[in-house]
Amino acid sequence: MTGLFTAVFSGFLLAAVAPWVHRLAPRRSGWILASLPLALTAYFVLHIGPIAEGAAFRAGFSWIPFLGIRLSFLLDGLSLLFCLLITGIGTLVVVYSGGYLKGHPELGRFHAYLLMFMASMLGVVLSDNAIALFVFWELTSLSSFFLIGFDHERAAARAAALQALLVTGLGGLALMAGLLLMGRIYGSLELSRMMAEGSGPLQSNPLFLPILILVLAGAFTKSAQFPFHIWLPNAMEAPAPVSAYLHAATMVKAGVYLVARVNPLFAGSPFWFWMLVGAGGVTMLLGACLAMVETDLKRILAYSTVSALGTLTLLLGLDTIRATEAALAFLLVHGLYKGALFLTAGAVDHGAGSRNVAELGGLRRAMPITALAAGLAALSMAGIPPFFGFVGKETIYQAVLGSSAARGLVTSAALLANLLFVAIGLIVGIRPFIGALKETPQHPHEAPVDLWIGPLLLGAIGLAAGLVPGAVGHDFVLRAASVVMDRTTETHFSLWHGWNTAVALSLVTFAAGLTVFAARHPLSRGFARVSGALAPVGPARGYFRILDGTIGMARGVTRVFQSGYLNRYLLFVLFTTVGLAGYTLFFRARLSWPEEVLHVRFYEAGLVAVMLVAALTAIRSRARLVTVIALGVVGYGVSLLFLFFGAPDLAMTQILVETLTVILFVLIFYRLPQVIVLSRSAGMRLLDASIALACGGLMTALVLTAVRVQWRPSIASYFSEHSLSLAKGHNIVNVILVDFRGFDTLGEITVLSAAGIGVYGLLKLRSGRGEAP
Amino acid sequence: MGIDSLPAALSVIRPELILAVTALVCLALDLLYKPADKMPCWAVAFFGSLAALASTIASWGTEQEAFSQLVRMDNLSNFFAVIFLMVGLITLCLSDSYVQREGLPAGEYYTLLLISMTGMVFMAQANDLMTVYLGIEIMSIPVYVLVAMMSKSPKSPEAGLKYLLLGGFASAILLFGIALLYGAVGTTQLADILRQAPGALKASDPLFLAGVGLLLVGMGFKVSLVPFHMWTPDAYEGAPTSVTAFMSVAVKAAGFSVLIRVIVLSLSPMAVDWSQIFWWLAVLSMVLGNVVALVQENIKRMLAYSSIAHAGYVLVALTTGTETGIHAALIYLFIYALMNLGAFGVVIAVSREGDQGVEIRDYTGMARKRPLYALAMAVFMFSLAGVPPTAGFIGKFYAFSAAVKAGYVWLAVIGVLMSAVSAYFYLRVLVVMYMKEPEAGAEYSAGPWGAPIGAGVSVSLWVCALSILFLGIWPGWLSHFAQQALQGLTSLL
């Protein structure tokens, strides 16, 4: 069953060569490239029969064997519904883009992104592996990013592209975390394997709630649910075909698809119910109200899409058979009419040069075919019989009336949203074409065939599906619904069910919708006032606040940590070191005072006193030379201490090293400017002093602990016993230096000579510079 | 034990010997040729490194100790040596024309690079704390000099001095830690430390615990984990770009090779203790690195902070202390090396003499003027951000799933969130390249693609970009080798 692989990856391949195809046939590239989505549509149409009978098709191979990740595809009723939407609308959109962007220098690139999106979206709905699903999911976000930012000369387009990517990309990552956790619980990342195990292991797991939130975060960001809906209206910066395809018909439904796909695992949980119904309901109403405020054709459509996505989420949340069927039927309905409306909006923009509804009117004479297409779609949106939209609306009413909880609330919300939909449908699909011809920036003219064929076909399908709803309903919606509900469903779809509450509600909707349309101007002003008042606490402001806050924090952190001052850097390193070592010492280790009392002889005490004075001088002195000499005194003191405790070789080395260091210091410091006092304020000095004291304290503690350690028999006795027998020498110190530790001595000599050469080099450099003018 | 036969012992350190001899030859050649003609030095360095790489690959699968167990060659050391040498070779390709353009002393430059690589291989093969220390110093000192080499720019010597002073400090802390550890267990040999550690832990020996803490500080500095990272942005910005590229991947990988051998493998009995510290260091590095990178205007500084964040991701994998975790870290380091080198490669290609043109705004509209460089940079940025199907995604995926598998769910969640933040600044480069028009009169290193900056840069860019895509789609291959690298070692865990 390699067909599914070919179906997904042929899109990527064609995307890679699309710019060249465009270069070869710049005028006909849309039509040529559309042949692939057309072929794929035919391929999926062939599967309708078997799948309607309950078959499912699988394909898979091992991808990352070490982690048990397979690239596996599954075609069942739910995927098929989406696949047909993706490839079918894809075909029309590719043709449309060829005409819409005719002569645009980057059209080839545009087609490449569009095909890449189509292939990724097919991957999302066909993947049976959670990780593969995530990968394709992110690829759709990515192609959406490029498509929104396609018109990149405008800053608004760039900002919108980035916003969409940030919101959906972040959601995608949350989704991945959720899916990984699910994989851990089920021991497999295959979705079908999880389904087979049922919802038990997941719902009884303590991590159930976090997983639910993570998965829904992915779904809600992608499907523009409140409060993540802000990116979708801004995404209208994209060219019209992109809005129609990605941001109405397919990509934004990926979240809905995900919710439907994993529904059998989460269903039954009250959290699942309330999160979906709550977010869906709020989004549905908010989107519809905000759509009334807008005047730009595309932004109106965008908010009504937000509202439609809310409706879908709400319906899936209700989790009854009727509601699921309603959701899937509405998904199809919405894809058809919204795709068509976006495409006609593009055609109107193309033909009349404006998308402002206030400026448009009477275009039916100039653009008759576009007007026909828009009218068909708008009537479907308004839910007028015999359009498919009517069937969709009827099933929605039946579903909300059958809701188990909060029936009154859900039903009134659905009623409100639907009556606003009637008004919106009339505003965008009918109003621009009727009445008197208004003055437009461009003399209106009919769009070329590329631009009207797509919307007209979509509108016609909407009408045809309404006339024979049984065929569509049975073959697609029921199979898909049975996947979502995880059991077989049998309902009869028809245009006319006889007189019932749903029909009554429809009549109310239509009448109220017409009223709203008539009173749209005062209503829109009212909504605008409310939304203006709420803007300071709205999510759009929140997005920018988070963005600015993060950047502000970054600047703050940089100021504190990256001051450029070395002493500040050292401070942090020391602080952490003392903290880390001190913490382990005092809280983890058993510290104890050394048992044997230290016998301090008077000259030792005197020497230490001298060293202390020297150290204090080094701190206090402002002159570099004095500091260096004081430090030298400390060093020589240490050497003397070594000598007192019977380590002449060590003392010797230390003296040599000290001497060289002092010389080097003097040579270099002589050439440097005067000391700059960095820590001026008393606070800084106090901080410096406390860090220094803490370091000293740590060292003291460590030295005191180290004193107790006695590993081997004292090495001194070994030397005195064996110096004659092994090395034939009476002078033990000599024997140690040249025999027992001969290599050490050689090493020390080498180091010293290297350092000497260095000093010589420095001196020479200095004299060389001195001679130069 | 006895004294090893010399030829056998030398065969263990064959890559180091090849590198060291090459370095000396390079130095000698430098004296023979005129400053303008440094091609022989480059060629010697390149083929020497290639020979060392071949020798390493040839000894894949063998396991041998030498010099009284001071060094140990096994698949883990070979895996790291392959990373170092691969990075070294690519760095040489990136350096050739850059060194000429910036007027750096070529002979010394290549010699120092080779000596630094020698130290790294020693670090990977270290089987004793003394070798660890020596390896670190052999690696670090040449890099201090390399950082300060661009004497024309005032930033470079300042960066070198800061790096030297802080690095010297960290070395001293590391050495002190080694001394304390020796005081606690009476040995510097890693195998013996592993044997003694449970006893020392039981007695809560303060020397042992403090020693390990100081070791962590020293190593944290080398791999630039927060809060030991301050030198990184300054040093990365000031250093010649080719050196920055080398440091950001090879020095880091070398630090991690020691961290894995010493802390994760040899101190596995105290995993409970260090994994807590790792947890915090990982979180701090990911958060600070990614958040601060958001506001950087200089691309070298941005990549410096990004490198801090990536060290954090590697540490996420190591926090687990499991075989899966180390495996993930190895894969991550390999992938990171390719993508970061590639990114710096583009920085070199775009910059102009005197290290001009390293601000992000200099990339404006590059997609028009240099479509192929822009495409390569896009691959590297996507990969660094961890976007599928690039290798960067695979690396992050391995690292985070190792953490989830070991029960560090929050660590993985923070990591994922921070990757999302990182997407912002990586994509900013893309937006600037692809979505803005080039400013009028903006300069680029002239000529059609690649010619003036040298074929070496172009070749390395394509090698890196294609490997990233290849590994992103077929990661099984790398995973297999990383698995082999851990064979026989994970019984220690």
Structure tokens of B213? 């803490």
Distances (CA, A) of B82 to A416, A535, B60, B89, B481: 67, 57, 10, 10, 11
One-letter amino acid identity for A736?
Answer: I
Residues 153-172 of A with CB under 8 A from B: 153, 157-158, 161-162, 165-166, 169-170
Q: What's the angle, vertex CA A440, arms to CA A438 and CA A441, rounded to 5?
A: 165
Residues of chain B contacting residue A149, judged by C-beta atoms under 8 Å apart? 431, 434-435
Q: Of A629, A596, A592, A598, whose CA–CA distance to A614 is shortest?
A: A629
Interface of A with B in 694-733 (CB under 8 A): 701-702, 705-706, 709, 711-712
Give ipTM to 2 decimals.
0.74
- Say if the Cβ atoms of A177 and B230 lie within 8 Å: no
Question: Which residue in B169, B435, B475 is closest to A64 by CB distance?
Answer: B475
The residues pairing with A69 across neighbouring beta strands, listed in sequence order, are A64
Summarize pLDDT for A28-64 with one digit per residue, the tens. 888 888 889 898 888 888 888 887 777 788 888 777 7
Chain A residues inside the 8 Å CB shell of B233? 562
Closest chain B CA to residue A702: B207
Q: Does B172 touch chain A (CB under 8 A)?
A: no
Looking from the CA of A719 toward its CB, the CA atoms found within 13 Å total: 17
b/e code A238-251 from CB counts within 10 Å (16+ = b): bbbbbbbbbbbbbb
The answer to whether A293 and A420 are in contact (CB under 8 A) is: no
Q: Are A212 and A307 in contact (CB under 8 A)?
A: no
Comparing alpha-carbon positions, the chain B residue that sits nearest to A68 is: B476
H-helix or E-strand spanning residue B66: strand B64-66
Size of the A and B interface in Cβ pairs below 8 Å? 173
> Residue B421's pLDDT is what?
82
Cβ-defined contact of A184 to B404 (cutoff 8 Å) = yes
Cross-chain residue pair B431–A158, CB shorter than 8 Å: yes
B228: nearest CA in chain A? A573
- CB-closest option in B205, B294, B412 to A550: B294
Dihedral pair phi/psi, residue B28, rounded to 5°: -65, -45
Mutate to test the interface with A, among B171, B332, B387, B439 (most CBs of A within 10 A): B387
Q: At what angle do helices B409-435 and B299-319 cross, to 10 degrees?
A: 160
Partner A, chain B 353-392, Cβ-Cβ below 8 Å: 387-389
Triad A652, A656, A660: Cα angle to 5°? 170
User: Cβ separation of A142 and B424 shorter than 8 Å?
Assistant: no
A765: contact with B, CB 8 A cutoff: no
Residues in A touching B483 (Cβ below 8 Å): 66
Task: Let me know: does A45 contact A114? Beta carbons within 8 Å.
Answer: no
> Residue A609's pLDDT is what?
92
Q: Which residue of A has its CA nearest to B185?
A: A711
Give the pLDDT confidence of A641-653 residue by residue, as tens digits. Answer: 888 877 777 888 8
In the prediction, which pLDDT does A625 show? Answer: 80
Hey, is the C-beta of A109 within 8 angstroms of any chain B C-beta? no
- What is the structure's pLDDT at B330? 96
Contact A153 B206 (CB under 8 A): no
3-state secondary structure of B407: coil
Token couple for A66: 């070490």
What are the structural domain ranges in chain B?
A: 6-492
Q: Report the pLDDT value the prediction gives residue B447, as an integer from 0 to 100.
A: 43
pLDDT of residue B136: 96
Q: What pLDDT, on a 0 to 100 scale, did the predictor assign at position A493?
A: 67
Q: Splitting chain B (493 residues) into consecutive groups of 10 residues, what average pLDDT does each group show?
A: 72 94 92 76 93 94 88 93 96 90 89 96 95 96 93 87 89 91 89 88 82 89 88 91 95 95 90 89 93 89 94 95 93 96 92 83 82 90 88 92 86 85 85 73 47 76 94 89 85 61
Q: Is A176 part of the contact surface with chain B (CB cutoff 8 Å)?
A: yes
Judge: B206–A591 Cβ closer than 8 Å, yes or no. Answer: yes
With CB atoms and an 8 Å threshold, state whether B393 touches A162: no
Q: Provide the total of helices (H) and of strands (E) in chain B, helices listed first.
A: 21, 2
Task: Among A142, A166, A702, select the one facing B424 at the smallest CB separation.
Answer: A166
pLDDT of residue B137: 95
Which parts of chain A sit beneath pLDDT 50? 770-773
Looking at CA atoms only, how far is residue A645 from chain B in angstroms? 19
Nearest chain B Cα distance for residue A750, angstroms:
16
What pLDDT shows up at residue A427? 85
Q: Looking at the partner chain, which of A63, A169, A573 has a beta carbon nearest the beta carbon of B420?
A: A169
* Residue A207 to chain B, least CA–CA distance (Å): 10
Determine the distance in angstroms separating the CA of A709 from the nearest CA of chain B, rounded to an integer: 6
Q: What is the pLDDT of residue B2?
A: 47
Nearest residue of A to residue B293, measured between CA atoms? A554
List domains and CATH numbers for chain A.
1-169+238-257 (no CATH), 267-518 (no CATH), 567-720 (1.20.120)
- Taking the Cβ of residue A671 and every Cβ of chain B, the question of whether any pair is shorter than 8 Å is answered with no
Assess B180–A contact: CB distance below 8 Å, yes or no.
yes
Measured between beta carbons, which residues in chain B are less than 8 angstroms from residue A184? 404-405
Q: What pLDDT, on the 0 to 100 scale, is given for residue A436? A: 77
Mean pLDDT, all residues of chain A:
82
Sort out which chain A residues have CB atoms less than 8 A from B221's CB and list them: 573
Cα nearest neighbour of B206 on chain A: A589
What is the radius of gyration, based on Cα positions, of chain A? 39
Residue contact A149–B431, C-beta within 8 A: yes
Separation in Å, CA of B142 to nearest CA in chain A: 15
